[in-house]
Amino acid sequence: MTPSSRSSAPNKRFQSNNRTSSNHHVSKDRQHLKVKRLGDRTGLWQDLYHQILTTPFYKLLAWIAVTYLTINFVFAWIYMLDPTGIENSDGSFLSSFFFSVQTIATVGYGAMYPKTPFTQIVAAVEALIGLLGLSMGTGLMFAHFSRPTSHVLFSKPVSLSTHNGRRTLMFRMANRRNSHIIEAQVQVALIRDEITQEGTVMRSFHNLRLARSQSPLFALSWTVMHPITPESPLFGQSIKEMKDRDTMLVISLTGVDDTLGQTIHARHIYVVEDIKDGMKFSDIMSIEKDGMRVVDFSHFHDLEPEKNPQYREGKTVYRARSKYFRKGSLRRHRK
């Protein structure tokens, strides 16, 4: 690659700020954007609804179960303050606990019932809490399940190889659902450290221009390409220079699920270690005799070396089966 004015800042200034380590994994994209917040007083209770929606489902079930048992234990202890307040109860804590379970669920078997004013008031309060808890739990479970999600598979590596005579950054995406994503749009942002004219190191964002950023119907796989032209922020950048600047690629995909009719989002992050220079993706598409298209996901992440790399420093060569391309009467072969 030829030098570019975009990389005129001394690379040594970035080496001390290199925070990229070799233990990054593309599937754990959240750890690349995790930030330790100091002086922020926003706690769990100030954004509880968001915390509940983003928590895993098994944790949500555990949280509901613990809350349910805690409330019943508390009311069982309150019922114990009046040992004779529950009819047909032996006065034990276990009887009070199961009476609380029947009351909060509004089951009312009839074997045990409150007979003193104190117990009746406590049972009324507990029944109200049970109704509120049931409605809130149902709403949280529904909101957790009804969130639109995408099952988009991103390739683990990023290919840096020659495409149409130009160095091109490529990665693959695949729709793992049988439904289609319509009006799919993808954006790629380059994040890296840059030095301002005042000598301050700042984290800068650059939107990369893609060969195709929209797809009317995303059904199978999609190879996203960024040609490294002189206008590209990556022009003239080596892998080492990208690493020194702690370069990251943030992928954002949006579209409409044609089954749910809802907008879905997918996000992925690549680091420098994921970029493989001189490697191209293996072919995963094939067509059967009946015309059925087949996608082989077992080779989705596979790379293979470029057989005949046609990129040369400052030169572009187009070849296909040892014959030069022609466009009209022009021979596209520059020596």
Quick check: 327 pLDDT over 70?
no
Higher pLDDT among residues 222 and 29, named by residue: 222
Do 259 and 214 belong together in one domain? Answer: yes
Q: Domain with 102 in it: what CATH number?
A: 1.10.287.70
pLDDT, position 177? 82
Do 181 and 302 belong together in one domain? Answer: yes
**Residues of the chain above pLDDT 90, percent:** 37
The mean-pLDDT minimum among 218-232, 235-249, 309-323 falls in 309-323
pLDDT in tens, 3-47: 434 444 444 444 434 433 333 333 355 556 666 766 666 665 667
pLDDT, position 19? 39
Confidence of residue 291 (pLDDT cuts 50, 70, 90): confident
pLDDT, position 10? 42
The mean-pLDDT minimum among 82-86, 140-144, 231-235, 271-275 falls in 140-144
Q: In this structure, what token pair is assigned to residue 231?
A: 């206008």
203 in any annotated domain: yes
Quick check: 315 pLDDT over 50?
no
Single out the residue in 146, 175, 207 at which a domain terminates: 146
Do 293 and 181 belong together in one domain? Answer: yes
Q: Estimate the crossing angle of helix 117-146 against helix 93-104, to 10 degrees.
A: 60
The mean-pLDDT minimum among 174-178, 240-244, 254-258 falls in 174-178
Do 123 and 234 belong together in one domain? Answer: no
Higher pLDDT among residues 63 and 315, named by residue: 63
pLDDT, position 99? 92
Quick check: 64 pLDDT over 50?
yes
Mean pLDDT, the chain, as a whole number? Answer: 79
pLDDT, position 57? 83
Task: Give me the domain span that covers residue 215.
Answer: 149-308
Bridge partners of 324, per DSSP, are 319
Backbone angles phi, psi at 169, to 5 degrees: -90, 125
Q: Which residue has the tokens 């009070």?
A: 96
Do 154 and 136 belong together in one domain? Answer: no
Do 82 and 154 belong together in one domain? Answer: no
Number of independent structural domains in the chain: 2
321 in any annotated domain: no
H helices present in the chain, as ranges? 12-15, 48-54, 57-79, 93-104, 117-146, 239-244
Do 89 and 235 belong together in one domain? Answer: no
278 in any annotated domain: yes
Among 248, 326, 298, 312, CA closest to 30: 248
Higher pLDDT among residues 321 and 142, named by residue: 142
Cβ–Cβ under 8 Å, residues 241 and 7: yes
Do 139 and 119 belong together in one domain? Answer: yes
Do 221 and 157 belong together in one domain? Answer: yes
Do 204 and 96 belong together in one domain? Answer: no
Confidence of residue 149 (pLDDT cuts 50, 70, 90): confident
94 in any annotated domain: yes
Please give the Cα distance from 82 to 118 (Å, whole number): 8
pLDDT, position 290? 85
Q: Domain with 161 in it: what CATH number?
A: 2.60.40.1400
